Amino acid sequence: MSKPLFALMGLLGVGLCEINEVRAGIPIERPNLELDWSRAAVTDVAQWQSFFDQKYPLMDPVMDITKGNESGRFAWEAPAWIRSYLALYQTTRDMQYLEKAVNLAQHMALYTDEARHRRGEIDVVEKGYWQAPKYYLNNRGNPVPGWRGYSKGWRVQVLQDGRILSAILRVVDRIKQEQVSEYLAVADELLALAERVIESHDTSFSHTKTPRVAGSYYYPHVRNRYTNDNGLFSKPLPFNHNMAMAEALLLAHKWMPEKQDYWDKAELLTQFFADHMQIREDGSCFWRYAFVPRDPNSKAEDITHADIEIGFLVIAQEMQLADVSPMLDCMAQTLVVTMYDDGEISYKVDGTGVAKGYHQMYVASHWLELAGREPRIAEIAFELLNRLESPPSSFNGFLGWAQLLALQDSQRQAFLVQNQPVTDEGPNRPD
């Protein structure tokens, strides 16, 4: 794209270029992270593994699912397990955890609609899609390359496909980054699947459909055959739907750099999100679940869906899609300034409602990745995990403890590096 992202944006009156100025005059306490691991429910990886084995003695979770994403577990549970395994692999370098992540990614790839239809497990002629990317509505009887779910009938959505692909592509990313030779062929197969699924949703994306929307995915219009803007419903998808697929776009582009349109779409989706975020004077921010042109007071975003948006923005920052640090900083402050109060977390980012226990666990998911910006997030996650997941029993509980163990290890490694004795030949140089 020719113009630098965010150059002319105004996040409801505060441009990204102004956010650091807004925050500059606000003293924000950033205490050192010191968690009391002596009272932790999970103190090391061996204990995590022991609890895991007790919970899943016969088969790893999700590996028994043979009906694709029909139960929603591929989209909502599997990503947490993959991130858990990758966190533990990062901490231990034990190949069993990378193998678990690869096995789960391959398992989900084995149960796409296309693969299931080919094996005769589903019939998309007799039981076709009521909602799907436009090609599959216009050409009934063709199975999608992604994963269907059920809501008033079979439907294929950007959100679920994006969630599943993002998890699979995190595995691909780790394999290719480290050039793990035994899995490189698998990674290429998974990347090819991701390309097919991503591009199946191309006609659902537009940067011209709605004024004030830089770019968004939309629900396809099920009552006409158009494949341009006229083939889309008028309301852009909620931000978390867009960010789920944007994460897949970025991770796929990383290993298919020739797919410039993936990068361009991710830029536009990020700009759309940023254009409708409001930065507050206390360093926190406010954003809505969706941009609704006819309802400027639509509902505030909630803790669970904000987790998806944070996950994408962390990757966007790492890949230097744009400087989204101000957005991540204000999201971190939103949790500690607006949402957290006396041991409880609100359900909405505006501080309203109290999140249910299993929703509070999302603080230990992508929210925890903001702990480097606001250490109190790690402390909050630690307290909640000790109270609600002691011992761990849910996928988010296992993920939270795995990530805290990885955080503990990274801090220990950083401490060792910072405190190495220095000689003329360099720190800790062997004889």
Q: In this predicted model, what pLDDT tens digit does every residue of 70-92 receive, in sequence order? A: 999 999 999 999 999 999 999 99
Length of the chain: 431
pLDDT at 417 over 80: no
Average pLDDT on 24-29 reads 35
- What is the rounded CA–CA span in Å between residue 262 and residue 185? 23
Tell me the percentage of the chain whose pLDDT exceeds 70.
Answer: 88
Q: 390-408, pLDDT tens digit by residue?
A: 999 999 999 999 999 999 8
Q: What is the mean pLDDT of residues 252-269?
A: 98
pLDDT digits 0-9 by tens, 305-340:
999 999 999 999 999 999 999 999 999 999 999 999
Q: What is the pLDDT of residue 418?
A: 54
Distance (Å, rounded) from C-alpha 4 to C-alpha 422? 43
Contact by Cβ (8 Å): 393, 352: no
**pLDDT, tens digit, for every residue of 195-243?**
999 999 999 999 999 999 999 999 999 999 999 999 999 999 999 999 9
Fill in the DSSP letter of residue 219: E
pLDDT band per the 50, 70, 90 thresholds, residue 33: low
Q: With contact defined as beta carbons under 8 Å apart, do 282 and 25 qualify?
A: no
Residue pLDDT, tens place only, 56-66? 999 999 999 99
What are 38's two structure tokens?
Answer: 């002596």
Q: What are the tens digits of pLDDT across the range 347-363? A: 999 999 999 999 999 99
The pLDDT assigned to 35 comes to: 87
Kindly tell me if the per-residue pLDDT of 9 is higher than 60. Answer: no
Provide the 3-class DSSP secondary structure of residue 391: coil
Instruction: Compute the distance between CA of residue 258 and CA of residue 335 in angstroms, rounded to an integer.
Output: 38
| 296 — pLDDT class (breaks 50, 70, 90) | confident
Given pLDDT bands bounded at 50, 70 and 90, which one contains residue 420? low
Percent of the chain topping pLDDT 90 = 84
Say yes or no to pLDDT of 283 above 80: yes
- Region for residue 359 given its phi and psi (left: phi exceeds 0; alpha: psi -120 to 50; beta: otherwise): alpha
pLDDT at 10 over 60: no
Pick the closest to residue 327 from 312, 338, 340, 341 (CA basis).
312
- Lowest model confidence (mean pLDDT) among 30-34, 69-73, 113-117, 171-175: 30-34
∠ CA 368-369-373, nearest 5°, is 100
Which three-class secondary structure state does DSSP give residue 220? strand
CA 43/CA 365 separation, integer angstroms: 18
Whole-angstrom Cα distance, residue 420 to residue 422? 6
Mean pLDDT of the chain: 90
State yes or no: pLDDT of 263 exceeds 80.
yes
Tens of pLDDT along 365-376? Answer: 999 999 999 999
φ/ψ of residue 247, rounded to 5: -65, -45
Mean pLDDT of 287-308: 95
H-helix or E-strand spanning residue 422:
strand 422-423
- The pLDDT of residue 294 is 87
Mean pLDDT confidence for 37-54: 95
